């Protein structure tokens, strides 16, 4: 028996026991004034899974980007330094040649390291999610994002599912 049926039965019982018409009218008014509260409570109890799921949310946005390697393995520096030193050694003569060789090695090492880091980039995706409690959380995933705005997701062990 739902809340409204229960209240109507109570009103009928009051009327049958000889309650005054004014008391029955006041009780009816109170019952209908409480109707929106009862409907709201009923809908929150029988709402969607997302409303009851504390670790569920909706994707707000995704952003895919390339992240360069934090550091190279050293191979890029070594290769760049050798190539730069060889090229620098081809310039000038005497002390100028030595200076060009050192400058070529340093410049080549730096360039080789940067090339290596860029060649080892990884694709990352940043996913913003509005959780069922209203808070916004950001998750970082490897690879291109396969999520889209409006998609329902669940958080398990700190990652999206």
10 Å CB burial of residue 80 (0-12, 13-18, 19+) is: buried
Distance, C-alpha 2 to centroid of its chain = 40
What tens digit of pLDDT does each residue of 71-112 get? 667 887 888 788 887 888 888 778 888 888 888 888 888 888
Residue 140 has pLDDT above 70, yes or no: yes
- Band (pLDDT 50/70/90 cuts) for residue 55 is very high
- Of the listed ranges 30-34, 82-86, 137-141, 153-157, the least confidently predicted one is 30-34
Contact between 41 and 124 under an 8 Å Cβ cutoff? The reply is no
Please name the residue that has the structure tokens 């000038």.
92
Using DSSP, state whether 124 is helix, strand or coil: strand
User: What is residue 27's three-state secondary structure?
Assistant: helix
Threshold 0.95, pTM exceeds: no
Domain map of the chain by residue range?
3-45, 55-68+121-160, 75-119
């Amino acid at each position: 028996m739902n809340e409204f049926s229960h209240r109507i039965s109570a009103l009928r019982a009051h009327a049958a026991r000889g309650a005054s018409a004014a008391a029955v009218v006041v009780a009816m008014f109170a019952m209908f004034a409480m109707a929106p509260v009862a409907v709201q409570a009923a809908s929150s109890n029988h709402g969607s899974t997302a409303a009851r799921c504390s670790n569920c949310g909706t994707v707000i946005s995704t952003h895919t980007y390339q992240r360069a390697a934090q550091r190279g393995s050293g191979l890029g520096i070594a290769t760049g330094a050798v190539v730069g030193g060889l090229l620098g050694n081809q310039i000038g003569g005497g002390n100028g040649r030595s200076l060009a060789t050192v400058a070529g090695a340093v410049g080549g090492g730096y360039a080789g390291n940067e090339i290596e880091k860029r060649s080892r980039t990884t694709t990352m995706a940043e996913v913003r999610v509005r959780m069922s409690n209203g808070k916004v959380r950001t998750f970082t995933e490897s690879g291109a994002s396969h999520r889209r705005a409006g998609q329902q997701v669940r958080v398990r062990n700190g990652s999206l599912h």
